[in-house]
């Protein structure tokens, strides 16, 4: 039986990060995701969420964050409703191609996301931005 993605909504505010970290910890505990991996997920979500808050000013009051675990694959999805297209993944260099010290200030966070994620995709449709990240978990 495939479980649906677990999703919560968070205010478009950096102050929501502690509640987001609690959500990550709760999901990780319930789905057998170890502390090391949860640290990686914290970093990925913090970077993507803060970029949505900083660069998508006209969006709805909330940003949706969802998780799904199927076997050894964790899927993370952030959705921002009512925004202009802004593919924050487009200009980030692939993981391993550049050292973090060689990046401009604006590119370091996405470089780290690429280091910790196995895949990152951006989709924009009907004024809704969706970033989907997949991460392989240890068996």
pLDDT digits (tens, 9 = 90+) for 18-30: 999 999 999 999 9
Q: Residues 80-99: what's their mean pLDDT?
A: 70
pTM: 0.85
At residue 96, the pLDDT reads: 52
45 vs 1, 22, 120, 134, 139, CA distance in Å?
27, 12, 12, 12, 22
Per-residue pLDDT, 92? 54
Confidence of residue 105 (pLDDT cuts 50, 70, 90): very low
CB environment 66-105: b (16+ within 10 A), e (fewer) = bbbbeeeebebbbbbbebeebebbeebeeeeeeeeeebee
Residue 5 CA from chain centroid, whole number: 14
**Quick check: 101 pLDDT over 90?**
no
pLDDT at 100: 46
Q: Where are the alpha helices (DSSP H) in 56-107?
A: none
Neighbours of 37 (CB within 10 A): 17
Domains of the chain: 7-136 (3.30.565.10)
Confidence of residue 99 (pLDDT cuts 50, 70, 90): low
Q: What share of the chain is helix, strand, coil (3-state, %, to 5)?
A: 40, 30, 35
- In the block, which residue shows the tokens 């609690």? 22
pLDDT exceeds cutoff 80 at 41:
yes
State residue 108's pLDDT score.
Answer: 75
């Amino acid at each position: 039986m495939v479980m649906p993605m677990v999703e919560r909504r968070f205010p478009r505010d950096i102050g929501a990060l502690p509640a987001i970290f609690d959500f990550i910890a709760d999901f990780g505990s319930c789905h057998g995701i170890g502390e090391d991996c949860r640290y990686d997920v914290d970093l990925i979500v913090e970077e993507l969420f803060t970029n949505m808050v900083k660069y998508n000013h006209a969006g709805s009051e909330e940003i949706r964050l969802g998780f799904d675990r199927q076997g050894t694959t964790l899927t993370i999805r952030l959705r921002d409703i009512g925004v202009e297209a802004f593919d924050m993944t487009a200009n980030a260099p692939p993981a391993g191609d550049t050292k973090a010290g060689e990046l401009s200030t604006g590119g370091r966070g996405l470089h780290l996301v690429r280091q910790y994620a196995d895949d990152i995709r951006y989709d924009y449709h009907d004024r809704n931005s969706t970033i989907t990240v997949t991460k392989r978990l240890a068996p």
